[in-house]
Amino acid sequence: MRRPDELRRQAALAAGASVAFALLAALAVYLLLGREGRLGFSGVNLAGLLEGLVFLVALMAALIWVRAGLRLPAPVLLSFGLIAPPRARKAAAKVPVVDVATAQFTLADHRVVIVQEGGVPVGMSGVRRERITSWDEIVKVPGDVSVTDLRALLAHEPLVVVMEGDAVAGVVTQEAYLAGLWGRVR
């Protein structure tokens, strides 16, 4: 799990390396064609247009390759790391924390409830329909994790609990994530 500042750094390096690779590919074509192209800036010529086309193809191929290899979100990569997704703590929805004795009554008002006993979380209702899920079975992530890195977890789990140390910051559900969570949280 990566933090947004790590994503920014990786995206800046990956995008810079992609541009450098594309420039080297265009330079190779320029040298192979006898230094006639100059990317078409000294008049329209076929060699210059070919250099430009090689640059674009090499840049796109490099960006696709680094995006797949580093699992970077496209907006982060294409902005050279200037745009980064929010942290999970910012995206987490607040969830009521209730005592075991009152959990039954709170379920009527809230879909997801954290159940505690003696101030310690013991489970969560609303994850599975028929029972209170044990606290050990719930997937938990730190609050400073990038919200886009929750995608792999939410593909298999209905929700993820976001923790701030030992305290619960909130919950990110599959529904909220799939509904465009990143676009709504600023």
Six token digits for residue 3 = 């933090």
- What pTM does this model have? 0.69
**pLDDT level of residue 55 (50, 70, 90 thresholds):** very high
The domains of the chain, with CATH numbers, are 4-78 (no CATH), 88-184 (3.10.580.10)
- Nearest 10 degrees: CA dihedral of 160, 162, 168, 172? -50
Per-residue pLDDT reduced to its tens digit, 113-168: 787 887 788 888 766 666 677 888 888 899 899 888 888 888 888 888 898 888 88
pLDDT single digits (tens) 71-100: 888 888 888 888 888 888 888 888 877 776
Exposed/middle/buried for 185, CB within 10 Å: 0-12, 13-18, 19+?
middle
